[in-house]
Amino acid sequence: MFSKILIANRGEVAVRVIRACKEMGIDTVAVYSAADADALHVVMADESYCIGGPSAADSYLNMNALLTLAKKTGADAIHPGYGMLAENPTFARMCEECGIVLIGPGAEVMEAMGQKEIARDIAIRAGLPVAEGSGILSDAAEAEREADRIGYPVILKARSGGGGRGIRIIREKSEIPGAYSQVQREAQSAFGDDGIFLEKYLENVKHVEVQILADKEGHVLAVGDRDCSVQRKNQKLIEECPAPVLTDSLRSRLHTAAKELAEAVRYVTVGTVEFLVHGDSFYFLEMNTRLQVEHSVTEMVSGIDLVEWQIRTAAGVPLPFTESDVSLGGHAIECRICAEHGKDCLPATGRVKMLHIPGGVNVRFDTALYHDCEITPYYDSLLGKLVVSADTRDAAIRKMKCALSEFVLVGVENNREMHMKFMEDENFLNGRYDTGIVAKVL
């Protein structure tokens, strides 16, 4: 087992990883930017070091600084959290060259599954259904020809990255030239890779993902599934586990497909395989080679600490349980509490003047907030994840309404009221919603 882990991230996920390490008896090293000097993860870690200026590029994304500090402090592993460098194969290779374990599936798998057109090919070879698509496009003219072949609507996608960036839906040919340039620029700016491709855009679908846990001995488990269809601008807002209204047969097929893909790339640690579901059919979307923001809902229904087992499997510890040993009980829902202005949904900043975190049985708020902390404009707007679980979905929704009504945050505008609308809307309550639900509710 690792003796010391450097956490190459900030905010809620850094706090989450530090807690897991403390419970496992592992020393932790926190890094922080000049803007995060007073952040919660800084005081929680055993050691903390400033590695650069406020921007992520000058600090949390500075690979050389992270590796230099890891070597200096004697860390034998780095946990990248999610976002930042979590799916960066270049950083994974640099860690390998330095003799430091990057907690994840390895550079080769990250590279293959991080480039979406390569991931599509691997999924096809593994027997997974995929939506009709193109290869990497050379220019807008080729995009027009491929769109005519595939049939509108189509979606332009950056082959790298995620988080809803580098994506445009196109419904007619006249939109392609402008959209092509926009996606290419956004992809280059966000991911340093302007490669883009086309896929058939599937409407009125559910976004369902399967949680994977695998060890180095080749054991691959599907630890439940999640519905992530409540999205705004391709950013997830609400997740629940298990995904509602799936038949037992469809759920079994999704889990089998996810495991087959993981086995095909010899996956290790935690990961997520995402699908678009329409009726009784499903299509491979992508694989996330990291811890997901929404892992918390799976932990609530499975009782498995996914961060702990991510660390253990990365260290070579074999899984002591099988999939049949995993008991999924009840239902969990997560609402992402974000700093944003109500009308335009733009990121908000401010200082926390009052904070009351809901309590009660099976109520959890994963956050790095504390009284008088400052929310700056430099990073993602996620403030925390409010998670509840109960015996049934209806009971979980009622519990979430109670938790949202109890949650108080003064000083930073946030989206609590938006979440309450979903908990009271028939489109969400019946569980049959799809990725178009936000337009109906908001």
Domains in the chain: boundaries: 4-103, 132-200, 206-441
In this chain, the answer to whether the domains covering 4-103 and 132-200 adopt an identical fold is: no
Query: What pLDDT is recorded for position 342?
Result: 77
The span from the CA of 19 to the CA of 218, in Å, is 28
> Residue 240: beta bridge partners?
227, 333
DSSP string, 68-109: HHHHHHT-SEEE--SSTTTT-HHHHHHHHHTT-EESSS-HHH
What's the predicted TM-score (pTM) here? 0.93
State whether residue 5 is helix, strand or coil: strand
The dihedral over CA atoms of 320, 324, 327, 331, expressed in degrees to the nearest 10, equals: 120
Q: Domain 206-441 is of which CATH architecture?
A: 2-Layer Sandwich (3.30)
C-alpha triplet 145, 151, 156: angle, nearest 5°: 70
Distance CA 384, CA 397 (A): 18
Q: What is the CATH number of domain 4-103?
A: 3.40.50.20
Residues that are catalytic: 290
Both tokens of 159, joined, read 């082959």
Task: Name the CATH superfamily housing domain 132-200.
Answer: ATP-grasp fold, A domain (3.30.1490.20)
pLDDT string in tens for the chain (442-residue length): 999 999 999 999 999 999 999 999 999 999 999 999 999 999 999 999 999 999 999 999 999 999 999 999 999 999 999 989 999 999 999 999 999 999 999 999 999 998 888 899 999 999 999 999 998 999 999 999 999 999 999 999 988 866 677 899 999 999 999 999 999 998 887 777 889 999 999 988 999 999 999 999 999 999 999 999 999 988 899 999 999 999 999 999 999 999 999 999 999 999 999 999 999 999 999 999 999 999 999 999 999 999 999 999 999 999 999 999 999 999 999 999 999 997 778 999 999 999 999 999 999 999 999 999 999 999 999 999 999 999 999 999 999 999 999 999 999 999 999 999 999 999 999 999 999 999 999 8
